[in-house]
């Protein structure tokens, strides 16, 4: 199955790198440059999973995550935070905001794909038939 991934990062090079990592593995990738754009795209496109940076202009990843979790239509969207902020407090804040995973930048291609597949499988198991 071709899963859709919304990559939310204010660095175009990071978006490009993640696209190059994910598309050969069968993911369809779209991108947003900040949290406000991400929320709009989630509503329009309904991605299967989101890769979310923490530090961004206009609306940071923590606020995006909390907003998505508080909306019944997006509360179960798998969110993988990918950030250079890797100290314990930052990881805890991301997970408490509702991220399914919190991964460090840089991340290897195989680890990223494995984490995405795992959160998608967890969602599939949690979805009632």
Share the mean pLDDT of the chain.
94
Q: pLDDT tens-digit profile of 70-115? A: 999 999 999 999 998 888 899 999 999 999 999 999 889 999 999 9
Res 127: pLDDT: 65
Quote the percentage of the chain above a pLDDT of 90: 85
Report the alpha-carbon distance of residue 23 to residue 42 in Å, rounded.
19
pLDDT of 126 over the 70 cut? yes
Number of residues assigned to the chain: 129
What pTM did the predictor assign? 0.93
**Cis amide bond preceding 28, omega within 30:** no
| Domain architecture of the chain: domains with CATH | 4-126 (3.40.50.2300)
């Amino acid at each position: 199955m071709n899963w859709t991934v919304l990559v939310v990062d204010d660095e175009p090079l990071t978006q490009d790198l993640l696209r190059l990592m994910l598309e050969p593995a069968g993911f369809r990738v779209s991108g947003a440059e900040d949290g406000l754009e991400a929320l709009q795209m989630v509503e329009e496109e309904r991605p299967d999973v989101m890769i979310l940076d923490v530090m961004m202009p206009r609306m940071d990843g923590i606020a995006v995550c909390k907003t998505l979790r508080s909306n019944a239509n997006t509360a179960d969207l798998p969110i993988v935070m990918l950030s250079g902020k890797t100290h314990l407090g930052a990881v805890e804040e991301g997970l408490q905001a509702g991220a399914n995973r919190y991964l460090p930048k840089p991340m290897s291609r195989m680890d990223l794909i494995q984490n995405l597949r795992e959160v998608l499988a967890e969602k599939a198991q949690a979805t009632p038939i």
